[in-house]
Amino acid sequence: MGLSVQPVSSTSGYDLLINGEIRVALRVAFPSLRRHRVTVAGRRYQYRYRTWHFNFHHHGRLQEQYTDFFICLGVTPSERNREEVFVIPWEHVTGKTFSLHGGRGPYKGRYAPFRDAWQLIAGPHQPLQQRVA
């Protein structure tokens, strides 16, 4: 993408500095198995599905802005070349965590527009409404 990328000290709260000004926090998660139970017509069913969890908070708090973007990378070690990447601007984070649940279809939740949204980092000078559109 032609960007300058520098790693930064772990005490800064973010991991990379892009073009000397854009702060990026990396979040990498490996899948865990989550159990889900439902009862239909009196019968109980139990499902297990993969879930990737990403934390946006520091020590349970999400107060002052410490990064401009989160890059959430969901890795599946058993399936090489299968990764889910979300490039989420700080302004669009709505809670302390993001859980990506594996299912039959692609994720369609609130962060779906940010899947592989690398162009947001390449064009931070644009108004946020244009970056997401």
Look up residue 94 and give its two tokens.
Answer: 């709505």
Q: Are 132 and 113 in contact (CB under 8 A)?
A: yes
- So what's the pLDDT on residue 80? 65
Share of the chain above pLDDT 70, in %: 88
- What number is the average pLDDT over the span 24-38? 85
The answer to whether residue 47 scores a pLDDT higher than 50 is yes
Query: What's the pLDDT band for 26 if we cut at 50, 70, 90?
Result: very high
The answer to whether residue 98 scores a pLDDT higher than 80 is yes
Pick from 123, 124, 111: which is nearest to 85 by CA?
111
Element (H, E) at 84: strand 83-89
Share of the chain above pLDDT 90, in %: 28
- So what's the pLDDT on residue 130? 41
Sheet holding 22-29, edge to edge: 5-7, 16-18, 22-29, 69-75, 83-89
- So what's the pLDDT on residue 42? 92
Domain ranges of the chain: 5-76+91-112
What is the chain's mean pLDDT, rounded?
82
Element (H, E) at 72: strand 69-75
The answer to whether residue 132 scores a pLDDT higher than 70 is no
pTM: 0.77
